[in-house]
Amino acid sequence: MITKKISLLIISASYLFVSSCSSSNTTPNTLTEAEKSEGWELLFNGQDLNNWHLYNNPSFKGAWYVQDGAIKANPDEPGKRADLVSNNDYENYELQFEWKLAKEGNSGVFINVFEHDTLATAWMSGPEYQLLEDSHPDFDKPLKKAGTLYAFTPQKNLANTKLVGEWNRSRILQENGVIKFYLNGILTAEMDFKTPQWKEAITRSSFKDKPEFGLRTKGKIALQDWANGVSFRNIKIREI
């Protein structure tokens, strides 16, 4: 009987391992059949920037380029640096992406971004999922750690970033104005953008004199080019 039970456990464990391996997506910038059936779409195919454009400049990519299956920002082209935004608007969705930063790197992903010629950058309208490399001088500031809702909430749960050169995994879930941020599988931020508390938090922040900031629960997604080079890949979205 014991031998039989052990055999069944081994078979069950083997089944789970095979199922896990077959459902995981090991090829960057591709979707499994399961992901396609669940409604996932790639925002980056590993080859071009066709789903993206420069903020307020649809015909220009600036310092952004594609290399080795990743979207990168060239830190040596300051005159061309600006945020890269999605062509489409999104409201209720799950977004997943991988990212890495050079030493002391600083970047972010903005959501609910509004493009208008009176706004110079994406951060003037869109709240930010912060990306920060551990050796950056601001690393010890709670409101600037990776995975935070930048300038508003510290990490809800402690989440560590990978070593320089390794890919971090991030997830943003937004439904009916409620957002959840995840870093390497750990929930790091939550906020309801429809509440008076959010509006009050803006009035106490450095965004208080930006009249378009944080007003929307629908908009574009933007990648920030800020300091020392950033790379993105496996950017995929599923509308819910």
What does the pLDDT look like over 51-91, one tens digit per residue?
999 999 988 777 899 999 999 988 776 556 689 999 999 99
pLDDT digits (tens, 9 = 90+) for 119-135: 999 999 999 999 999 98
Average pLDDT, the chain: 89
- Identify whether 44 is part of a domain: yes
Contact 222, 109 (CB under 8 A): yes
- Identify whether 16 is part of a domain: no
Residue whose C-alpha is closest to residue 97's, from 88, 110, 87:
110
Look at residue 68 in the predicted model and tell me its pLDDT.
96
Does the pLDDT value for residue 218 go beyond 90? Answer: yes
Give, as one character, the DSSP assignment of residue 99: E
What pTM, to 2 d.p., does this model score? Answer: 0.88
Does the pLDDT value for residue 1 go beyond 50? Answer: no
Q: Which 3 state secondary structure label does DSSP give 60? A: coil
- Identify whether 8 is part of a domain: no
- Identify whether 203 is part of a domain: yes
Q: Which 3 state secondary structure label does DSSP give 11? A: helix
Domain count, the chain: 1
State the residue range of the domain holding 176: 25-239
Residue 171's CATH number: 2.60.120.560
Contact 190, 183 (CB under 8 A): no
- Identify whether 13 is part of a domain: no
- Identify whether 18 is part of a domain: no
Strand pairing partners for 171? 96, 182
Phi and psi dihedrals of 53, rounded to 5? -155, 165
- Identify whether 123 is part of a domain: yes
Token pair 């208008």 in the structure block, residue: 116
Residue whose C-alpha is closest to residue 54's, from 64, 67, 42:
64
Q: Which of 19-28, 124-133, 144-153, 175-184 has the lowest mean pLDDT?
A: 19-28
- Identify whether 2 is part of a domain: no
